[in-house]
């Protein structure tokens, strides 16, 4: 029987658990991310206008957005080492406290633009420390063969934030641009109330014994190998297509998303739309991702990702290349919906591949590696593609599309082909993880639901 989480949308599952006070550890992570990302997403439509208000140019806008991404890029891998050494929980809580403090510093709106930009860089560094811990903890709490679904749930929670946050940010900006940073700081503090009650999950990750067959095949191992009998990690544990190809593809995803962070508000403003419409357009993009996240997660866990990911990237590239020709908000939203439907399967599939291919002892570092590539791509998208908007409007859209096409070709050629361990229609057969060796407070999450066999 499939776990309960496969039959109920992530957000409804979390709300039901909250109302019945049966929040499992994975629910706490997802709920905290939903609340915090709502505040973070409030920044998206307003930050470029905030920089413009301070006298910044198009290049300043790009650098103001790219700076935090560069900081996040540089922090990801070292943070992943700390996640593996000191644990998930300290990194989750400490990084969010720092982010909230910096948010209130930006709300104060004191000092020149370069000083405000440094505070944004600090926010990027704290986010870079948070993400490997979040993704590693979710992998710890989720059996192999279900992680595409779990990361799709994470994406759905972020899409709720993207659905609500930009509209909130656009409305707050009608009062005061810097007010969006106060909203962001408050949302992070509220999310911390959930994270503080999270148990440490690093021990749970250490008992995994059944790697995903795709990761096993890529590593040249067998499904019966266990961490307890595994050889010492090689110095270049990351030098495998099973890790580097999905991580590199995340760079294209990051470039596309963060190019939009810089370009989208300016793109719609040139067409005569105000901040409220800009915020609502970003929120509208989140709707299909939110509605389809469950189906996308199931598809990711069952389909051939070597074909699924390139197909989705090709659709995203096609949509991006059409935006410069569009003027009507209705047509723009229609194309954005098609792009969102394709985007919903990409990131969860890529992080599931990384979690399944990495040795459990370096899970935090593997997630840091994926985050490094995604943030580096994001810095490229914001700092380079975003700055090119001031030269010619179509260039950033075409550049983002080219990144997606290149990534699709690399995945199609180099992504390891998943191998089913036996005959039958199912692509993967995954044995259950031993629950008797997992801490008691984590058993409910790994089993899916109390009493479910």
Tokens of 162: 């993207």
Higher pLDDT, 17 or 70: 70
337 — pLDDT class (breaks 50, 70, 90): very high
pTM metric for this prediction:
0.76
**Over the chain, what is the mean pLDDT?**
79
Cβ atoms of 304 and 384 closer than 8 Å: no
Measured distance CA(411)–CA(409) in Å, rounded: 5
Question: Pick from 210, 6, 141: which is nearest to 445 by CA?
Answer: 141
10 — pLDDT class (breaks 50, 70, 90): low
Percent of the chain topping pLDDT 90: 32
Mean pLDDT of 433-442: 38
pLDDT of 119 reads 92
Give per-residue burial for 346-359: e unless 16+ CB within 10 Å, then b: bbbbbbbbbbbbbb
pLDDT of 94 reads 93
275 three-state secondary structure: helix
Cβ atoms of 340 and 286 closer than 8 Å: yes
Asked whether the predicted pLDDT for residue 63 surpasses 90, the reply is no
DSSP 178: T
Asked whether the predicted pLDDT for residue 396 surpasses 50, the reply is yes
pLDDT of 309 reads 94
pLDDT of 384 reads 86
Cβ atoms of 166 and 138 closer than 8 Å: no
Asked whether the predicted pLDDT for residue 411 surpasses 70, the reply is yes
Asked whether the predicted pLDDT for residue 32 surpasses 80, the reply is yes
Asked whether the predicted pLDDT for residue 5 surpasses 50, the reply is no
Q: Which of 140-144, 214-218, 288-292 has the lowest mean pLDDT?
A: 214-218
Pick the CATH number of 4-220+238-418 from 1.20.1250.20, 3.30.470.20, 1.20.1560.10, 3.40.50.720: 1.20.1250.20
pLDDT of 443 reads 40
Other Cβ atoms closer than 10 A to 87: 18
pLDDT of 62 reads 73
55: left (phi over 0), alpha (psi -120 to 50) or beta: left
- Residue whose pair of structure tokens reads 């990194």 in the numeric block: 91
End-to-end CA distance of the chain: 7
Tokens of 428: 């993967």
- Residue whose pair of structure tokens reads 């998930």 in the numeric block: 88
Question: Taking the domains of the chain in order of start, what are their residue ranges?
Answer: 4-220+238-418
Q: Which of 31-35, 215-219, 252-256, 389-393 has the lowest mean pLDDT?
A: 215-219
Asked whether the predicted pLDDT for residue 291 surpasses 60, the reply is yes
């Amino acid at each position: 029987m499939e776990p309960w989480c496969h039959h109920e949308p992530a957000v409804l599952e979390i709300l039901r658990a909250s109302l019945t006070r049966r929040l499992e550890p994975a629910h706490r992570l997802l709920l905290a991310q939903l609340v915090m990302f709502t505040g973070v997403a409030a920044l998206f439509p307003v930050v470029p206008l905030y920089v413009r208000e301070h006298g910044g140019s198009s290049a300043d806008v790009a650098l103001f957005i790219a700076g935090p991404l560069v900081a996040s890029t540089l922090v990801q891998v070292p943070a992943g080492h700390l996640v593996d050494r000191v644990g998930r929980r300290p990194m989750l809580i400490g990084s969010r406290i720092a982010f909230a403090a910096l948010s209130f510093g930006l709300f104060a709106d004191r000092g020149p633009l370069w000083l405000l930009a440094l505070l944004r860089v600090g926010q990027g560094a704290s986010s870079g420390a948070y993400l490997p811990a979040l993704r590693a903890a979710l992998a710890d709490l989720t059996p192999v063969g279900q992680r595409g679904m779990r990361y799709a749930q994470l994406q759905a929670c972020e899409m709720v934030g993207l659905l609500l946050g930009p509209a909130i940010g656009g409305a707050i900006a009608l009062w005061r641009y810097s007010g969006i940073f106060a909203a962001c700081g408050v949302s992070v503090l509220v999310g911390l109330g959930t994270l503080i009650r999270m148990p440490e999950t690093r021990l749970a990750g250490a008992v995994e014994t059944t790697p995903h067959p795709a990761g096993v095949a890529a590593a040249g191992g067998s499904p019966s190998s266990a961490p307890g009998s595994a050889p010492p990690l090689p110095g270049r544990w990351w030098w495998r297509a099973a890790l580097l190809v999905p991580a590199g593809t995340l760079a294209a995803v990051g470039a596309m998303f963060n190019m939009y962070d810089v370009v989208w508000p300016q793109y719609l403003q040139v067409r005569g739309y105000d901040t409220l419409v800009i915020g609502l357009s970003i929120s509208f993009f989140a709707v299909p991702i939110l509605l389809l996240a469950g189906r996308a997660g199931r598809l990711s866990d069952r389909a051939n990702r070597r074909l699924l990911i390139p197909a989705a990237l090709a659709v995203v590239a096609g949509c991006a290349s059409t935006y410069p020709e569009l003027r009507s908000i209705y047509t723009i939203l229609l194309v954005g919906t098609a792009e969102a439907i394709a985007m919903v399967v990409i990131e969860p599939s890529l992080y599931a591949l990384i979690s399944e291919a990495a040795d459990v002892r370096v899970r935090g570092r593997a997630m840091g590696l994926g985050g490094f590539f995604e943030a580096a791509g994001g810095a490229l998208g914001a700092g380079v593609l975003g700055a090119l908007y001031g030269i010619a409007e179509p260039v950033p859209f075409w550049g983002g599309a080219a990144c997606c096409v290149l990534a699709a070709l690399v995945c199609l050629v180099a992504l390891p082909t998943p191998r089913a361990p036996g005959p039958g229609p199912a692509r993967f057969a995954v044995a259950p993880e031993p629950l008797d060796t997992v801490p008691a407070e984590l058993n409910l999450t790994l089993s899916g639901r109390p009493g479910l066999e």
